[in-house]
Amino acid sequence: MTASGKFTAACVQMRAGCDVAANIAAVSALVSEAAAGGADLVMTPEMTSLLETKSEALFANTHDEKDDAMLAALRGLAAEWKIWLLIGSLPVKLSATKLANRSFLIAPDGVVAARYDKIHMFDVDLAGGESYRESRNFEPGKQAVVADLPWGRLGMTICYDLRFPHLYRALAKAGADFLTVPAAFTRQTGAAHWHMLLQARAIETGCYVFAPAQGGKHQCGRETFGHSLIVAPWGEIVAEAAHDTPCVLLAEIDTTRIAEARGRVPSLGHDRAFALPAIKPARQSS
C-alpha cells in the first residue's frame, strides 16, 4: 500500500498500575480524549493493562486473549469512536508458565486487524542495582508484522525491539511507512537513549515513528521515562510529551514526507552484500 494523504495520530501516555480495572478506566478516558480531539489513529503504551514486577501477581491478573478485559474494552472503544487503535501491548497467557507481550491493531469496527508478539526480551542489569529478566515470564515472538492502514502500511514493534535496527529495516523493506514503538522504557535508559534511538530508526527507514510511553513512578515501584514521541521520516521530532505524566499527544501526519525523505536519501535501495572477516580463535595462555 502506498502512503497517501494526511491524518491525525495520537500517542496516549499513561502510568499503568497493578489494578486492571483502574487501568481500563484511565486509558479509556485518554483514548476518548484523543478521539474527541480528532485523532484517526490512537496508540497506547506497552503493558497498557498491567505493569507488575511480581511474577505471581502478573500471572494471577493475566488471561487468555478471549478473556482479556482490557482488549474487550478497547475493541469496544475503537468501534464507538470509529478509530484505528493500536494497543501498545498486553500480557496474554500462553500457558501456565509463559505469557506473550502482545500488541494489537484494532480496526474502526472493533475487529483485531493484526497482532504482534514482542521479539526481543529485556534481560539486562543496569547501574544502581536495576535488573530485569523479561524472558523469565514471557515467550519471545518469532514473526515480524506489517499491517495496512488507510494511509499506508504499519510496522509493529515493542520497546526493547528499538535497539535492533535490522528489524526496522526489514519492516521498511516490507512496505512499512509508519513504525510503532509502544514502550515502558526505564527512566535510566530513557534519559540516555530514548530520543536518539527513535530518531535514528526514523532516519534509517524514512518512516514516521510513533512511540507512546509509560511514564512516572508506578504502583509496583518501577520508574518509566515517559516523553512519548512522534518522529518524522527526516528525523525531526514533530510532537513530544515534555514530562512523564499521563497525557494525550496529537500531531497531523503528512504522508508525502515519507516519499520526500526516501527520495533525498534512498538508502533502502542501496544494500550491498559484504563478507565478514574470519574470526580468529583466542590465544591460549601458556
Residue 56 a catalytic site member: no
Residue 66 a catalytic site member: no
Q: Say which of 6, 52, 93, 118 is annotated catalytic.
A: 118
Q: Say which of 56, 80, 93, 159 is annotated catalytic.
A: 159
Q: Say which of 46, 52, 207, 247 is annotated catalytic.
A: 46
Closest CA to 159 of 41, 42, 268, 48: 48
Residue 207 a catalytic site member: no
Phi and psi (nearest 5°) for 119? -85, -45
Residues assigned a catalytic role: 46, 118, 159
